[in-house]
Amino acid sequence: MDEPILKTKLYVPPLRPEIVSRPRLLARMKMGLQLKLTLVAAPAGYGKTTLLSE
């Protein structure tokens, strides 16, 4: 099964100036940097990509 990877799946979008800062989630993400794997899971539209791009 040779399926191409969509370029949009590897592209980090630029941060928009009007995003809401989420310091508590950012702190948890920083803690996850010390681990081998950090999973970010939520339904569509919950800001996973925005959180990761911060």
The pLDDT tens digits for 9-50 are: 777 778 788 888 889 999 998 988 889 998 999 999 998 888
| Amino acid 27: pLDDT | 92
| Amino acid 10: pLDDT | 77
Does 54 map to a domain?
yes
51 within 8 A of 12, measured Cβ to Cβ: no
Q: How many domains does the chain have?
A: 1
Q: Range of 53's domain? A: 23-54
| Amino acid 1: pLDDT | 61
The CA distance from 5 to 15, in Å, is 23
Q: Give me 33's structure tokens.
A: 């940097």
Does 39 map to a domain?
yes
Does 18 map to a domain?
no
